[in-house]
Amino acid sequence: MDRETAKRLIDKLTQEINKHNFDYYSLSVPTISDYDFDMLLEELVRLEKEFPELALADSPTKRVGGEVTKSFRQIVHKNPMLSLSNTYSEEEVEEFDQRVRKLLGGEDFEYVCELKYDGLAIGLTYKDGMLLHAVTRGDGEKGDDVTTNVKTIKSVPMRLFGGDFPEEFEIRGEIVMPRAEFERLNEERADIGEAPFANPRNAASGSLKMQDSAEVAKRALDCYLYHMIGDKLPFGNHYENLMKTRDWGFKIPIYMVKCKSSQDIFGFIHEWNEAREKLPFDIDGIVIKVNSFEQQRKLGFTAKSPRWAIAYKFKAERVSTKLISIVYQVGRTGAVTPVANLEPVQLAGTTVKRATLHNADQIGRLDIREGDRVFVEKGGEIIPKIVDVDASSRTMFSEPLRYITHCPECGTELVRKDGEAIHYCPNENGCPPQIKGKIEHFISRKAMNIDSLGEGKVEILFDKGLVKNVADIYDLSYESMIGLEKEYVPESGEKVRVVKFREKTVENILKGVEDSKKVPFERVLFALGIRYVGETIAKKLATHFKNIDELEKADFDELKEAEEIGEMIAGAVRGYFNNVENLGIIVGLKEKGLQFSIDESAYEKLSDKLEGKTFVVSGVFSKPREEIKEMIALHGGKNSGSISSKTSFVLAGENMGPEKRKKAQQLNIPVISEDEFFRMLE
């Protein structure tokens, strides 16, 4: 076959198979038998092998996976992926309706009610009709690029039909795992001795983050889309735009209606609260949105969520069972969590044997005792928790529970700080679960990403005395690890030893350790596990102080000058650097070559126009707030999260908090508008 003929055939087969995929997976109306479909796909695979340079970007052969992603790059959302305000109360839905009516000043409007899918939020960007990238929600400002894995989801089009779509736009939705696939997957995991997934949401999330896209393709994930963003959209409202995208090949849910009143909304809520078990996937509530884009703009946003939408969440299922015993777990921060061991009971589709009791206050409030009949719910349908006790079923021998006073792992006396509900073990560098927890956090994907050290290997290395803190990871050698075993005691009672550190495993660990020396400063800072310093805060501190030495020297007030750093975080950071053992660990990590300063070339300034000036940015702007803050930094200025005498300007957008405005006036700090700010840069 000549090249030109092959090209025509490949183009024709690609278009035909993509259309059959859409008919089957999005419309549920197959127009061809499975056998005939397989024959078409087989022919396309054969042609692409013979003429690989002719394979199209949207070839359906890419849906079977095969690409391996060792780490997911981060992509900044063009428009932040904000979460919705949640409510479990119909009264609050009524209040939301009244607020909307008041803010719209009597204008006629309508709502769109949709199902709230219990999965993983995703943003799909298309350019010239082709899938450009697929990004998870992440922290709302940036997420993981999971395009390779999303391409394996057959209901997600890689090339759009027709030609009347915008040049570039984003469509957002939820990736879910159907219940039937969830049950099949858990049966398969049980057969090979792996722990089952807790629920379809966790299974969907875990599947989408797998490194091998061929494995993702086996998981039969699905995607429902519910929000479109972009310039020059076909219509000026949410509902019609979504209906239009069906013509382009998108799987738009049929479970949505337009409503005019709160009574219409409640009718939809009640209908699906009763019918949700009949759906092939999990939902956990209903989303209510104002339909008109113009009215959405008028209503605007709070700092965290839109004012034109709200999520009503269904109340969790509740069951009764017996509390057998209470044990205490110690986390990596030293937090002690009481956990209830229960008589097994079915709850929301899973067998529950354990439930969290949170803290001593909850135990005291419930007056919970071993042997009680208790009522268990799943908070957000995920984590089982005890919400009530049937005191009438107690025996005369029942005794109040006494909360432990010493750490169950190392025996250190527990402490409880004023204003906090949690008890802590203060022995942070000598308590085994805290040490292991810190090491596991240090090697995690979002921190140092030494993934080859997972799967219980940290525990083996700790038990063998090879790692006593995170710095010891960099002293590991081939000789010290090769042949290390894990001891198991199965139900038979006979000890079994399994070699966990074979040649390839050890080589991967050593490579992962060496590669981690290139991880940037903000992730190293996050990896240290300082209390309250998550991913976002670590980046703020790294950007503000530039290196670990400046951060270590900063006093309490200087720490608070950094953006989003309040008293609690400043106190935790100061406490970490006041600990001599922590300073010793940092010295050890420095000697091993880890990155303890930011790469200045990544923050190359555009000018010095704002040099020496500190800004507090508050309110809603024409651009995303993070973009405004980035412009301040690029022109030499500093961002701060709180107003103080050192603040040069308060940059005020719409709906700036009255307290901040009042404080600025008290300190005679100039309050400038967005236009005035841009004039400063001219």
Query: Which sequence positions are flagged as catalytic?
Result: 116
According to DSSP, the β-strands at 168-176 and 222-230 are antiparallel
Residue with tokens 């200045």, as numbered in its chain: 600
Name every residue whose Cβ is closer than 8 Å to that of residue 558 and which is 6 or more positions away in sequence: none
**Cα distance between residue 601 and residue 468, in whole Å:** 35
3-class secondary structure, 168 = strand
3-class secondary structure, 242 = helix
Please check whether residue 561 is in contact with residue 644, taking contact to mean a CB–CB distance below 8 angstroms.
yes
Residue with tokens 């034109």, as numbered in its chain: 308
**Cα distance between residue 644 and residue 518, in whole Å:** 37
- How crowded is residue 177: how many other Cβ atoms within 10 Å of its Cβ? 28
**Cα distance between residue 199 and residue 185, in whole Å:** 11
Tokens describing residue 93:
């839905």
**Cα distance between residue 630 and residue 222, in whole Å:** 36
**Cα distance between residue 497 and residue 488, in whole Å:** 6
Please check whether residue 17 is in contact with residue 25, taking contact to mean a CB–CB distance below 8 angstroms.
no
- Taking CA atoms, 415 is separated from 147, 336, 404, in Å, by 47, 10, 11
According to DSSP, the β-strands at 496-499 and 614-618 are unpaired
Tokens describing residue 147:
């395009």
Residue 98's region, left for phi above 0, alpha for psi from -120 to 50, else beta, is alpha
**Cα distance between residue 423 and residue 407, in whole Å:** 9
**Cα distance between residue 442 and residue 459, in whole Å:** 14
Please check whether residue 251 is in contact with residue 276, taking contact to mean a CB–CB distance below 8 angstroms.
no
Q: Comparing C-alpha atoms, which of 295, 287, 286 is closest to residue 237?
A: 295
Residue 455's region, left for phi above 0, alpha for psi from -120 to 50, else beta, is left
Tokens describing residue 137:
């929600």
Please check whether residue 84 is in contact with residue 284, taking contact to mean a CB–CB distance below 8 angstroms.
no
Name every residue whose Cβ is closer than 8 Å to that of residue 211 and which is 6 or more positions away in sequence: 68, 69, 70
Residue 381's region, left for phi above 0, alpha for psi from -120 to 50, else beta, is left
Please check whether residue 666 is in contact with residue 634, taking contact to mean a CB–CB distance below 8 angstroms.
no
User: In sequence order, what DSSP letters do the residues of 83-96 get, joined into one string?
Assistant: PPPEES-HHHHHHH
Helix axes 3-21, 34-50, angle to 10 degrees: 150
Residue with tokens 């307290």, as numbered in its chain: 659
